[in-house]
Amino acid sequence: MASKKQIILPIAVLVGGLGMAFAFASMKQAPVEKPEQDTRPLVSIKPLSFDTITLDVKSYGIVKPKNHTELVAQVSGQVVSLSDQFVQGGFVKQGDILARIDPNDYEAALIEAEAGLAQASSALEIERAQVSVAQAEWDRIKGDSHQVIPSELYLRKPQLAEKLANYRAAQASVKRAKRNLERTYIKAPYDAIIEERLISLGSVVNPGNSFGSLSSTSLAEIRLPVADKDLQYLDNQGIGANVSISAEFAGKQTTWQATIVRTEGVVDQRSRMNYLVAQVATPYQQKNPLRFGSYINATIQGRALDNAIVVPHHLVKDNKIAVLQEGETLTFKTLHIVREQNGMVIADNGLANGEKLITSALEYPTEGMAVKLDNAELSAPTTQLALKED
């Protein structure tokens, strides 16, 4: 049998343990209540404001003269004079004499032609007098016989026709001699810049030999390639549209104004582009000359789009965009996208003026999602977002 001590000792240990447990339990503090955390995602917003937007089209090209002429000799001879302006890069006016071919032979030919004309004129007048005499003689001898008809040879009509033909041939010879003498002058056909000179003083030229070439400074033209899909943004296929062109001049970016005057009407077989032709009047008479051969960038003014908005492309998915509605919840609106360009989207329908566009990128946005504002003040309207340059 267990002794009394063996029975009492476990009971005492158990009672002591329970007492210590209650003592420790009474010393324990109640847990501190934590505030409820806001798990809504932070978003930034911009108020929407619609405006009129121009659907401009970007292009590029090389400045060229509208008229380019090669100066060619029409008569032969030695070059006896050259203008000081007849040098590469020289500017000349319409009618300026650039060079002169030795005129002596052509002046002599003109004198001979004029002498031949004087002889033919004299012979014609003599023949006319003889015709009058023959007609008068016939009237005197015919008497009362009205049935007899004189021959044309008797009345000297063939002789008169011959002398008249000789006179007209002499007139043609004088005209030809004057024209050849005039061709000894090499003149500028219009206001131009000299691009090339190929002859020197004393050179001997023959018909067809080139003196050089020049380009008109009255009009410059630029062929502007435009993709077929971009024609929809231009009124009347761009004809009559204003064009802003820019290029480097003296190390600075300079801008000029041009106008689309025509379309070439075909699609280029290699590039598959449409070509519009822009013109700039008096390119060398402006404050900053627009030089032929310059490579330019062009902005063609497109049609105006009323009540449109420009938003970043990354905010649009499946033609839908997230906006903030009352109660700080997210909702999606479907856009009518007119154009996508340079990371931006232009839309003209689907949103209301004053709606708040959510500009933050959300990982898993859903309809009706609760959100909270990241900024206390509203940012600037989205219409201030500009389309980036190409």
The set of residues, in sequence order, having a beta carbon less than 8 Å from that of 362 and lying 6+ positions away, is 41, 43, 322, 330, 369, 371
Most confident of 21-30, 33-42, 159-168, 186-195: 186-195
Say how many CA atoms lie within 13 Å of 257 toward its Cβ. 5
The pLDDT, as a whole number, for residue 379 is 45
Q: At residue 256, does pLDDT exceed 70? A: yes
What pLDDT shows up at residue 281?
94
What is the mean pLDDT of the segment spanning 127-145? 78
Question: How many beta carbons lie within 10 A of that of residue 364, not counting itself?
Answer: 6
Looking at the fold, whether 272 and 315 belong to one and the same domain comes out as: no
Sign of CA dihedral 83, 85, 87, 92: negative
Phi-psi region of 327 (alpha: psi -120 to 50; beta: other; left: phi over 0): left
Query: To 5 degrees, how large is the angle CA 377–CA 379–CA 380?
Result: 140
Does residue 99 lie in a domain region? no
Q: Is 317 part of any domain?
A: yes
Please name the residue ranges forming H helices in 41-152: 104-141
Distances (CA, A) of 277 to 147, 215, 223, 231, 321: 77, 18, 5, 14, 39
Of the residues 249, 274, 304, the one at which a domain ends: 304
Q: Are 284 and 217 in contact (CB under 8 A)?
A: yes
**Of 182, 209, 232, which residue is a domain's last?**
182
Between helices 104-141 and 157-182, what is the axis angle to 10°?
A: 160
Note the pLDDT tens digit of each residue in 185-219.
999 999 999 999 999 999 999 999 999 999 999 99
Question: Looking at beta carbons, which pairs linking 256-260 to residues 24 or more positions away fall under 8 Å?
Answer: 256/280, 256/283, 256/286, 256/288, 256/290, 258/222, 258/298, 260/224, 260/300
Overall domain count for the chain: 3
- Residue 51: what pLDDT? 82
In a domain, residue 9? The reply is no
Query: Which residue has tokens 């105006």?
Result: 304
What's the rounded Cα separation, in Å, for the pair 363 and 89?
64
Q: Are residues 280 and 232 in the same domain?
A: yes
Is residue 320 assigned to a domain?
Answer: yes
According to the model, what pLDDT value does residue 34 have? 61
CA distance 337 to 349: 8
Mark which of 251, 277, 304 sits at the end of a domain.
304
The reported pLDDT for the residue numbered 131 is 85
Beta bridge partners of 253: 248
Sequence-ordered list of residues with C-beta below 8 angstroms from that of 76, at least 6 positions apart, any chain? 101, 204, 205, 206, 207
If you average pLDDT over residues 17-32, what whole number do you get? 64
d(CA 209, CA 72): 6
Residue 233 sits in a domain whose CATH number is 2.40.30.170
Q: Is residue 363 part of a domain?
A: yes
The per-residue pLDDT for 292 is: 94
Q: Average pLDDT for residues 333-344, to the nearest whole number? A: 83
When mean pLDDT is compared over 50-59, 136-145, 368-377, the highest value belongs to: 50-59
* Cβ contact 253:246 at 8 Å: yes
Per the structure, the complete domain to which residue 340 belongs is given by 45-53+305-384
Is 267 found in the same domain as 242?
yes
Torsion of CA 179, 183, 184, 187, to 10 degrees: 140
Closest of 76, 78, 84, 71 to residue 201, by C-alpha: 78
Looking at residue 49, what DSSP letter applies? -
Tell whether the model's pLDDT for residue 183 goes beyond 80.
Answer: yes
Assess whether 224 and 271 both reside in one domain: yes
Q: Residue 134 and residue 115: Cα distance in Å, rounded? A: 29
Phi, psi of 220 (to 5 degrees): -110, 145
Mean pLDDT for 114-124 is: 94
Contact 63, 291 (CB under 8 A): yes
Is 195 a member of any domain? no
Task: Determine the Cα–Cα distance for residues 152 and 134; give it in Å rounded to an integer.
Answer: 10
Query: In a 3-state reduction of DSSP, which class is residue 285?
Result: helix
CATH code, domain carrying 120:
1.10.287
